[in-house]
Each structure stands twice: as structure tokens, then as C-alpha cells.
Homo-oligomer: A and B are copies of this chain.
Amino acid sequence: MTSNSHPAVAQMYLDDLYVGQRFTSGSYQMEEADMVRFAAEFDPQPFHLDRRAAETSVFRGLAASGWHTAAVAMRLLVTGGLPLAEGVIGLGGEIAWPKPTYPGDVLHLESEVAAITPSRSKPDRAVVTVRGTMLNQDQEAVYILTAKLLVSRRPA
């Protein structure tokens, strides 16, 4: 298991990745004010904006927009959770929110390289599939991301 705090792997290229390789991000605490601000801009639904309205919703309490949770996961990947030298560049993937995210939750992301598919047309690149699970402080999965990333070899 490789940790993102390992200095030898601080900036990785395709050459450094292998299937089964794991990474653990830092952590991020969800603040109610940030949740409401994000929701007001991008997902203005009562259960993301108003505590009282949220109590009788399917979430049974104020919950973060799933897209806020997804954005926080990206922040965790980019700030050490997946130390790719040329950045985390996603082509797409699959997402799921098995549980809601609530105010005060402390989230971190555990990721694993699931597949490496070399490009046929550009031999210096590959599509790397990374499966990440974001856990809260009770080790419950709140977000699962299987992302296809564009990764390049180390420049000659």
C-alpha cells in the first residue's frame, strides 16, 4: 500500500502506476454553511438548504448536495490523494452516493488503481481507471467514484 505522504511518490507518472496500487487522501470536514452555499448555487432543493425541510425528507436531516460531495472528493484527490505529476484529468466514470453527507462529517478518500489501458494512438499515454471510496468518520462509504483518468508517461 502506497500512501500519498510517501515523499518518493510525490509526483507520479504513468511509469509509476500499477494495478492494485493504493492511495489515501487527507481529510475534509463538511461545514453546514458551505453545504448551504454550494446548494444555493448549484442544487437549490429544500433538503440541501433548510434544516427543517430536510427533517421530513428522504435524507432525514440537512444533507450535502451529492455534487458537493463529489467536488470535495476531487479536492481530496488533487491535494495529495492521487499525486499525479500532470494532474488529475478525468474523461468520465461512474459515481454513487450510498449514504448522505451531513454537517460536521469528516471525509477522506481511499483509492486504488483498478486498470491501466494504454492508448493505441498515443503510446505515451494511458487511460487509468481509479476506484475511490469516500468514507465518513464512522467509516461509512458516502461516495464511490470509478474514474477514467488520462495519464502520461514521464517526459524523456
**Which of A's residues lie within 8 Å of B, judged by CB?**
38, 41-47, 57-58, 65-68, 70-72, 74-75, 78-79, 87-97, 144, 150
Contact = CB atoms under 8 A, between A and B. Distances in A.
Contacts of A74: 42-43, 65, 67
Contacts of A150: 58
B71 A90 contact: no
User: For the complex formed by this chain, how many copies does it contain in all?
Assistant: 2
A150 B41 CA distance: 22
B45 A75 contact: no
B75 A42 contact: yes
Given A45-B87, A74-B43, A94 B96 contact: no
A87 B42 contact: no
A144 B90 CA distance: 13
Contacts of A75: 41-44
Nearest to A97: B92
Contacts of A58: 89, 150
A92 B95 CA distance: 5
> Which of A58, A67, A88, A144: most chain B Cβ within 10 A?
A67
Top 7 closest pairs, chain A to chain B, by CB: A92-B96, A42-B71, A67-B71, A45-B87, A42-B75, A43-B74, A67-B74
Nearest to A143: B92
